[in-house]
Amino acid sequence: WPGTSRYIPPEDAAPLIRAVPSHVSTVGVFVDETPERVLEIAAQTGVSALQFHGSETPEYFDRLGSWRKIKAFKVRNDFEPAELRRYASAYAFLLDGWVAGGLPGGTGRVFDWSHAERAKAYGKIILAGGLNAKNVGEAIRKVEPWGVDVCSGVEIAPGRKTPELIREFIRAAREAEQQLVSSRLESSTPGRQKQPQS
């Protein structure tokens, strides 16, 4: 999105995307762009998914065909998860914190994660909003989202991410995921029955 310091022109993004291993998803982020322009940029860059942070409607989504589409929602206290149900063609939903007068995304604001827990009934949930290496583990253990999204939580300044903070974030997320997996395995393993004493 050209209105943010994190913007990368499509012609600059294309070679970066080509260098990414094929098993890694690349996502183009858009805000109230025309469907025609979105499809043009998607073809030009080779992204594997499209993420929308504007006022895009379900009908807008339907015009984008079979692309993997992610619809972002700013979560306020009055957020109603059932709203997600309208976007039947969405591949996943990203839930972000709400800031009055703030940017469409990358707000750096944590919201009440219980909204995300309830939203899981309507599809894959990507949890965003103020996540960093210190709180992503708690977020994953509490919400068990399909994915997590980070922006300002790994930056030293707007648009300036650092490898160290990214590694710390990934490490914390993976540790929490492993804890969930271990917990599920333990709960699904029948307890050993005690042998009767003679």
Ordered mean pLDDT values, 10 residues apiece, the chain (198 residues): 81 96 95 96 97 96 96 95 96 90 70 97 97 97 97 88 96 96 82 50
Q: Say how far apart CA 71 and CA 90 lie, in whole Å.
A: 7
Domain residue ranges of the chain, discontinuous segments joined by + = 10-183
CA 144, chain centre distance (Å):
13
Quote the pTM value. 0.88
Q: Which fold is adopted by the domain 10-183?
A: TIM Barrel (3.20.20)
Q: What is the per-residue pLDDT for 198? A: 43
Q: What is the per-residue pLDDT for 190? A: 67
Q: Say how far apart CA 79 and CA 38 lie, in whole Å.
A: 27
Please, what's the b/e burial string for 55-93 (b: 16 or more CB within 10 A of its CB; e: otherwise)? ebeeebbeebeebbbbbbbbbeeebebeebeebebbbbb
Q: What is the per-residue pLDDT for 186? A: 84
